[in-house]
Every structure is written in C-alpha cells, then in structure tokens.
Amino acid sequence: MDLERLYAQVKNRIDRIDFSKLWKGFSPLKFALYNDSQCFYNGAYISKTDDFLANTSIFYEGEWIAIWNVQEELDPSILTSKIVHEMFHGFQNAHGESRFPDELDALYTYRYEDGNLSVKLAENQILCQLVNAFDGEQFKRLLAMRKYRSNTFAYEYHYEACLEQIEGTANFVELKALKQLSNELFQKKLSSMQERIVREAQLFPIRIICYDVGALLLFVMSENGIAFEEGFTPVPFAESLLPAVAQENTVPVCSMQAWIDEYYDQADKIIQRAIEKNALVSDSPAELLGVNVYNAVYYQGYIISRYFVMFGSLENKTTEYGDFVIESKSYKKTARIYRVV
C-alpha cells in the first residue's frame, strides 16, 4: 500500500475538519502511517523505530503524535476519523489526563459476574433506545441502574468509567469527526455501535464495549443538552453523573452466566492447547511489563495476549510479537510464556 498517497488523502480530510466542534481545546496533531517495513510521518518517509507499535499516540521527538499501523484497506474518511481518535489520546496525554485505568491490574481484578453484567446489558438496551428517541425518565433510570452497579460492583464500575472516559471520549470525537466527513458513514457507524452494545457476546472482554458505551452516552447527552465535563478533572464523567442519583433497587433479571461460562471455556481451550504445544518463549521468572490490553484475557493464573508481550525489567525489557499464553500466577509476574501456534 502506498503510504505517501494514503497520508495525503488523510491529511486532506483532516484539514477539512473543524476541530473546535469536536471537543473543547482540541486541535490536530502530527501523525504517522506505517506498516511492517515503512513509516510515513509528517509528510516524509522516516526510519521506522520500535516506538511505532499498534494504533495509538506516542511521544515522539518532543511532542505527542498519532500513529496508525496500516494493515487493511479502509475508506479514507473512516481512517481519518480513527487517526483523529488517536490524536485525541495525544491531546489527553498532553493535558495531564489522570483517569487512565491500570489495565494490568484490571486483568487480574475485574470480576465477570452475572449480577454485574446482567444489569450492564439492561443499561445498554436503554442507552440504545435513547440514541433513537430520548426520554428523560428512561435516562434517569439508566443512571439509577448505573448507581446500583457503582455501589455494588465498585471496582468493576470504576474500571468501566475510566475506559469510558479515555476510550469513550476518543470514540465520541471519532464519531463526530466522521459526521463532518460523511453523514452516510456516520450513520452506519452509529447504527453498528448501537447493535454491538446490546449483543451479549460483545461484553467479553469488557474493555472493548466501553469504547461504544462511553461514546453513545456522550452522544445522547450532547444531543439533548445534558452537560458533561470537557476538562481534565480527576473524576470520570460516568461517575460524576451519579452523586445526586437515587439507586435503582429493582434490577432486571436476565442471566449472563452462560455467556460468562462460554468466555472462560474458550480461554481455557487456548491456554491448554498452548501448554500442550509447549512452544516456550521464556521459562524464567520476570516482570510482566505489557500485553495487548485491548482484548487480553485472564483465567486461572494465565493471560492470553494477542499481537505482543513485553517482559523482563525496565532496564532490560524484551518484546515478542505474535499471540501468547503467559503463566502469571503471581501478580504482574511471568513464570512461563508460550507462543500460540
């Protein structure tokens, strides 16, 4: 794929976006497109370094920039909106955003419990309806159910709220950028987000659905004149909505247990297969420094990480690429690392 040509297409679209309408104080950042062998940054090819990993924002040559790993062909307007998403992460970092969750801690600590996820699914069903037709009483009910989960499943709700703050806001900005570029593509994205949040399977792992839930919650609020914080206070917006809300004590009963069991059954099969194949990458104890948190899974002392794993020490770290099963029965430490083959 011609990175220079694709960069020009994206740059042309970024120049058409009114960033002042996306988020208070937000303005475009420099960006890079790269693949396995090349990197095109700020209008020129440069040497690709280890800094260019995944789709994200990195601190490069003294400033925050957006980077995108070009693996598949996307509509240039969709790609542009995703680059704006990553620019927003740079904007967050540059302004001292403090609400990032501890992703590794959440891997070990977040509990997939029926009582939590069944209510979350019911919340998502209400949220989906509110996108199409706002109703003040239903919005209050949504917040009341969230208040229940915040009180009953405090760690889980806080983790989700942090993700809605970090990734939900970026996804919201991405959605609004796409609307400026193509109303047709915007409507398709909005509909697909609504469809995803009400599918039981999409709650596993929980991290991914928070992108859509946070964005849709902000979309409903922005479309209906409900204020939310656009600054960088320490409290996630999904928690700041709750203090004055009465808790919903009668919660819907729609069991998610079968979906939870299936999620862990699939994880166990991947883990057992990796152990049987015994394609060891490391069998020496080390610090676990990083995994692909986007869709990582923790189950009974093992972590499944797709795309990469980072381990060792801060002074001597090793990064391996591929899919891995990590034996991690001690908190943030590895005993063995198996490549999934």
Q: Are residues 165 and 277 in the same domain?
A: no
Q: Are residues 204 and 269 in the same domain?
A: no
Report the domain count for the chain: 3
Q: Are residues 48 and 114 in the same domain?
A: no
Q: Are residues 109 and 207 in the same domain?
A: yes
- Residue 241 pLDDT: 96
Asked if the structure places residue 245 within a domain, the reply is no
Q: Are residues 204 and 111 in the same domain?
A: yes
With contact defined as beta carbons under 8 Å apart, do 194 and 216 qualify? yes
- Residue 80 pLDDT: 98
With contact defined as beta carbons under 8 Å apart, do 52 and 34 qualify? yes
> Could you tell me the two tokens for 200?
């039981």
Give pLDDT tens digits for 172-199: 999 999 999 999 999 999 999 999 999 9
Do you find a cis peptide bond into 76, omega within 30 degrees of 0? Answer: no
Q: Tokens 């194949």 belong to which residue?
A: 277
Asked if the structure places residue 26 within a domain, the reply is yes
Q: Are residues 216 and 108 in the same domain?
A: yes
- Residue 250 pLDDT: 74
Asked if the structure places residue 85 within a domain, the reply is yes
> Could you tell me the two tokens for 12?
């042309």
Q: Are residues 46 and 115 in the same domain?
A: no
For residues 59 and 227, give the distance between their C-alpha atoms in angstroms, rounded to a whole number: 31
For residues 311 and 162, give the distance between their C-alpha atoms in angstroms, rounded to a whole number: 25
Asked if the structure places residue 73 within a domain, the reply is yes
Q: Are residues 311 and 261 in the same domain?
A: yes
Report which secondary-structure segment, H or E, holds 304.
strand 302-312
Please report, as a single letter, which amino acid is at residue 38: Q
Indicate the average pLDDT of the chain. 96
57, 74, 94 — which closes off a domain? 94
210, 240, 270 — which closes off a domain? 240
188, 211, 240 — which closes off a domain? 240
For residues 109 and 54, give the distance between their C-alpha atoms in angstroms, rounded to a whole number: 25
Asked if the structure places residue 252 within a domain, the reply is no
- Residue 338 pLDDT: 98
Asked if the structure places residue 316 within a domain, the reply is yes
| pLDDT confidence bin for 45, thresholds 50/70/90 | very high
Q: Are residues 296 and 329 in the same domain?
A: yes
| pLDDT confidence bin for 1, thresholds 50/70/90 | confident
Report which secondary-structure segment, H or E, holds 276.
helix 257-277
Name the β-bridge partners of 189.
none
Q: Are residues 110 and 233 in the same domain?
A: yes
- Residue 34 pLDDT: 98
Predicted TM-score of the model (pTM):
0.95
Asked if the structure places residue 35 within a domain, the reply is yes
Q: Is the pLDDT of residue 252 over 80?
A: no
Q: Are residues 111 and 51 in the same domain?
A: no
What is the domain extent for residue 272?
Answer: 257-339
Asked if the structure places residue 60 within a domain, the reply is yes
- Residue 266 pLDDT: 98
For residues 233 and 85, give the distance between their C-alpha atoms in angstroms, rounded to a whole number: 20
Q: Are residues 50 and 78 in the same domain?
A: yes
